[in-house]
């Protein structure tokens, strides 16, 4: 018969009580040695009870999203590794896979995943089969969706603990679900599924943790309403990579050797790199929202940076001390400027987005798939030392590493053929935490032999064997003291173990998260409309993405010398606010870097508005759709508080034949990026009537004629004060396309047209109406416009072929606004 702990304790005390009640029982213990034996026996018995109680501490692990890709690839294996490491020690376990998948499907999925689990190489096959069988018996799947489901889960755990005579130690909830599901799950756990008094709760959260500082703050506040800070474990799986996890222990174990080296006096630069050969195909919906900086640099590489740059605590085993020092490193990061980064995008990306997300053929994404960022620290240790963070997709190799390159001020008289790796100070001096893949193919720690022989724990790291012919960072492997893990471990296995043991320093706290987003958000905002440099992908990239730095500025090493118009000297470089003024098609041209160009255009529009209101009492502004004007709208909304919006009428140059609330609608773009941020009378806003009588652009509804009548009634001589146009890659402007049967000439003011891309039906101002304007501004941005810009510069007045060539105000002014990418390439 199986006895519970309480029953065992009671039986022991009952036996002792019976003995004490019998006459003469204590007489056997008159000798001091006997009393000592009795005391020891009683202590051992009580200690045994306490140890048994500790051994029976029970931990329930609930994997939410148990049927997802992350769970299938990493998390179930990580939980199995936890069981392998902890089986037979202090705790018993149960593992609950949970998801929205139906019970039958979920059970089949989990059974298949459990069957595929594997043991480390050092576990004997028989022992592995035994442990795997145990883990399978301890694991189960359940449908978890409603609050009642969470109540039932909690009751099942309590019943299991009580039936086994166990003490509940704690519960781990692993959120392998999208962030939008966090709030409902958190509410259910907090209200129905917390463990009882004396047991801990640990909630594990996967990135993304917001999109910027504001969204991260909102998510943190929401979760903070359900969980305490010490209960939340935000996973950055890079912190579980063995080479990354070794950075602090390495610094600690080699403290004496590094104390004189780990500073601005000796470190030339630090490189934190993650390169990928794969592209974003199949993940463009995620990538369009986040891009490479949010996906990799803001989290993985920044966390690594803090491990390298933070002051080393006296006791690195203290989670609290480590986290405090990391936070100080975050706070020492110098703010980033637009010139701190270079961006790239592999050439096939936009086409992948168009295909996967059914975007129109004209769509061109601005999402970067490559980024290099220059970071500096404002403290005495690291002042002036560049930290280079770089990551990208579709590059020439898959590799990740942290490289600390030391200054070399030696001069060696002997020729380099006679330099000896562990003696010559002229050889490069570097420490590399090799995260994985690449030429080595495994994690490693590398230290130049002319620095010092490092100390690493022999039970977990061993020296790499000779690899003749292998070169890393331009040097043979023999130039380094090189170490690799005795047993390679997956990052998630490492982190799950640390969650179980409550090691908070391997996770992202709320303070760290907000500090990181506070550092990155201003840069992300400034780069939101930057056109990334296109690159072909793989080895064909050549030197196209090479970059160099000086001071706080970063720029590509290869400049594009091709120019639209002949002129001496190299293409202009960004250096503060500068605007190039020239001529294009015999009309004024203003060219600058995108941010400066938008600022200049916004200033010019405001100046035109102020003059018009002063002279006529109103300002009539007609705006084009598309992506190019979006940064202009944002600039006008946030930085032009003197704009006379109360006296401004806003018109549309063209519109897609979709409902006005449709995301494809030009009016919706205008509403999102401008109208909701300014105070303009609603009766001064004039959307195109494309949706009448529950139909879209039906000829019989006469929407075009209605808009023309409205213009004639409100705009003097139907002459807008300013019309903002764009130029398509095929030479179209507004929604006037090559060979358009209407709108390029004639008497009509507003016309219905056909686009070559979806949505096909459009409404547009006609070319004759546009040319009545007092001023027309044409905004052209991005390298994708380079070819059409060159072509249009050479053609005459051919609106049938190139509608943009027909823009020439009869009595007004035409001004071209082009960024350098479109103008100079």
Sign of CA dihedral 390, 485, 266, 317: positive
Q: Is the pLDDT of residue 291 over 60?
A: yes
Query: Among 310, 276, 326, which Cα is nearest to 296's?
Result: 276
pLDDT at 566: 33
Handedness of CA 600, 603, 607, 609 (dihedral sign): positive
Average pLDDT of the residues in 600-621: 94
**Is the pLDDT reported for residue 674 higher than 80?**
yes
The distance of Cα 802 from the centroid of its chain, to the nearest Å, equals: 41
Residues 6+ apart with CB under 8 A from 155: none
Helix axes 630-639, 594-616, angle to 10 degrees: 60
Question: Tell me, what's the pLDDT at 463?
Answer: 92
Q: Cα–Cα distances in Å, from 421 out to 162, 256, 408, 424, 429?
A: 64, 22, 14, 6, 10
- C-alpha dist (Å) from residue 798 to 163, 732, 806: 87, 12, 6
Rounded Cα gap, residues 743 and 733, in angstroms? 11
Query: Can you give the pLDDT at residue 733?
Result: 95
| Separation of alpha carbons 507 and 207, rounded Å | 11
d(CA 164, CA 156): 12
Residue 527: phi, psi to the nearest 5? -100, 0
Q: What confidence score (pLDDT) does residue 19 get?
A: 53
Confidence of residue 474 (pLDDT cuts 50, 70, 90): confident
pLDDT tens-digit series, residues 163-176 = 888 899 999 999 99
- Looking at every residue in the chain, the average pLDDT score rounds to 88
Q: Are 733 and 769 in contact (CB under 8 A)?
A: no
Cis peptide before 121 (omega within 30 of 0): no
Taking 90 as the threshold, does the pLDDT of residue 569 lie above it? Answer: no
Residues that are catalytic: 300
Beta strands, E only, 350-443: 370-375, 387-392, 399-406, 430-437
| φ/ψ of residue 788, rounded to 5 | -70, -30
What pLDDT does 49 receive? 44
Sheet (strand 200-206) strand order: 139-143, 91-99, 57-64, 167-175, 200-206, 232-235
Instruction: Tell me the pairing of strands 167-175 and 341-346.
Output: unpaired
Q: What percent of the chain has pLDDT over 70?
A: 89
Per DSSP, the three-state class of 514 is: helix
Rounded-to-integer distance, Cα 261 and Cα 256, Å: 10
- The kind and range of the H/E element at 610 are helix 594-616
pLDDT at position 567 over 70: no
- H helical segments located in 332-394: 349-357
In 675-787, DSSP assigns E strands to 685-686, 691-692, 695-696, 722-726, 750-754, 761-765, 775-780
How do residues 775-813 score in pLDDT, each as one tens digit?
Answer: 999 999 998 999 999 999 999 999 999 999 999 999 889
pLDDT in tens, 732-773: 999 999 988 899 999 999 999 999 988 899 999 999 999 999
Q: How far is Cα 559 from Cα 574, in angstroms, rounded to an integer? A: 12
């Amino acid at each position: 018969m199986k006895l519970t702990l309480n029953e065992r304790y009671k039986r022991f005390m009952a036996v002792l009580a019976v003995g004490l009640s019998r006459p003469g029982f204590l007489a056997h213990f008159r000798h001091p040695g006997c009393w000592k034996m009795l005391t020891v026996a009683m202590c051992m018995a009580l200690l045994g009870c306490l140890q048994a109680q500790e051994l029976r501490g029970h931990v329930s692990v609930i994997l939410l999203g148990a049927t997802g890709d992350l769970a299938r690839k990493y998390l179930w294996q990580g939980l199995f590794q936890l069981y392998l490491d902890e089986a037979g020690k202090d705790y018993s376990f149960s593992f609950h896979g949970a998801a929205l998948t139906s019970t039958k499907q979920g059970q089949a999925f989990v059974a298949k995943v459990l069957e595929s689990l594997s043991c480390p190489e050092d576990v004997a096959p028989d022992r592995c089969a035994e442990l795997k069988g145990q883990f399978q018996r301890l694991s189960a799947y359940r449908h978890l969706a409603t609050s009642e489901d969470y109540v039932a889960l909690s009751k099942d755990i309590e019943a299991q603990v009580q039936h086994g005579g166990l003490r509940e130690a704690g519960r781990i909830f692993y959120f392998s679900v999208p962030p939008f599901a966090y709030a409902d799950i958190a509410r259910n756990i907090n209200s129905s599924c917390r463990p009882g008094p004396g047991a801990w709760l640990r909630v594990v959260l996967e990135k993304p943790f917001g999109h910027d500082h504001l969204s991260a703050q909102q998510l943190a506040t929401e979760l903070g309403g359900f969980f305490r800070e010490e209960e939340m474990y935000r996973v950055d799986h890079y912190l579980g990579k063995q080479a990354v996890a070794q950075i602090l222990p390495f610094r600690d174990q080699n403290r004496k050797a590094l104390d004189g080296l780990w500073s601005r006096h000796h470190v030339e630069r630090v490189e934190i790199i993650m390169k990928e050969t794969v592209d974003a195909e199949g993940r463009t919906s995620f990538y369009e929202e986040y891009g490479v900086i949010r996906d990799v640099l803001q989290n993985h590489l920044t966390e690594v940076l803090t491990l390298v740059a933070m002051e080393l605590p006296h006791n690195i085993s203290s989670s609290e001390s480590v986290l405090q020092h990391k936070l100080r490193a975050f706070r020492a990061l110098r703010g980033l400027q637009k010139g701190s980064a270079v961006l790239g995008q592999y050439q096939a990306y936009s086409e992948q987005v168009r295909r996967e997300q059914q975007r129109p053929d004209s769509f061109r994404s601005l999402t970067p798939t490559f980024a290099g960022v220059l970071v500096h620290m404002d403290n005495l240790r690291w002042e002036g030392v560049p930290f280079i963070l770089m990551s990208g997709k579709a590059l020439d190799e898959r590799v990740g590493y942290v490289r600390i390159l030391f200054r070399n001020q030696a001069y060696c008289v002997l020729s380099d053929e006679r330099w000896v790796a562990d003696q010559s100070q002229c050889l490069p001096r570097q420490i590399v935490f090799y995260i994985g893949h690449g030429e080595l193919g495994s994690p490693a720690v590398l230290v130049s032999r002319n620095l010092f022989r490092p100390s690493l724990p022999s039970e977990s790291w061993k020296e790499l064997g000779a690899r003749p012919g292998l070169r890393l960072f331009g040097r043979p492997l023999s130039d380094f003291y090189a170490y690799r893990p005795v047993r390679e471990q997956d990052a998630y296995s490492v982190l799950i173990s640390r969650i179980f043991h409550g090691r908070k320093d391997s996770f992202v706290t709320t303070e760290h998260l907000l500090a990181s987003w506070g550092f990155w958000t201003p840069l992300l905002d400034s780069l939101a409309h930057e056109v990334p440099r296109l690159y072909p992908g793989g080895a064909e990239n050549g030197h196209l993405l090479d970059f160099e730095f000086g001071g706080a500025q970063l720029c590509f090493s290869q400049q594009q010398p091709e120019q639209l118009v002949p002129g001496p000297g190299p293409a202009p470089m960004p250096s503060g606010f500068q605007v190039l003024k020239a001529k294009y098609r015999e009309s004024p041209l203003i060219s600058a870097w995108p941010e400066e160009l938008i600022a200049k255009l916004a200033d010019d529009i405001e100046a035109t508005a102020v003059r018009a209101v002063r002279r006529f009492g109103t300002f009539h502004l007609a705006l084009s759709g598309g992506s190019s004007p979006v940064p202009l709208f944002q600039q006008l909304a946030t930085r032009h508080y003197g704009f006379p919006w109360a006296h401004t009428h806003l018109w549309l140059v063209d519109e897609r034949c979709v409902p006005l609330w449709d995301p494809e609608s030009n009016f919706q773009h205008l509403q999102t990026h401008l109208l909701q941020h300014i105070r303009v009378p609603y009766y001064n806003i004039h959307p195109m009537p494309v949706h009448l009588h529950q139909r879209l652009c039906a000829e019989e509804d006469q929407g075009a004629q209605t808009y023309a009548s409205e213009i004639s009634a409100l705009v003097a001589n139907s002459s807008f004060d300013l019309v903002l146009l764009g130029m398509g890659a095929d030479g179209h402007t507004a929604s006037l396309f090559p060979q358009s049967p209407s709108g390029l000439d004639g008497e009509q003011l507003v016309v219905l047209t056909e686009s070559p891309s979806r949505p096909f039906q459009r409404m547009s101002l006609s070319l004759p109406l546009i040319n009545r304007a007092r001023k027309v501004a044409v905004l052209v941005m991005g390298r994708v416009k380079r070819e059409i810009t060159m072509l249009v510069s050479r053609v005459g007045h051919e609106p049938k072929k190139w509608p943009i060539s027909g823009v020439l105000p009869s009595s007004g002014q035409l001004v071209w606004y082009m960024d350098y990418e479109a103008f100079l390439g």
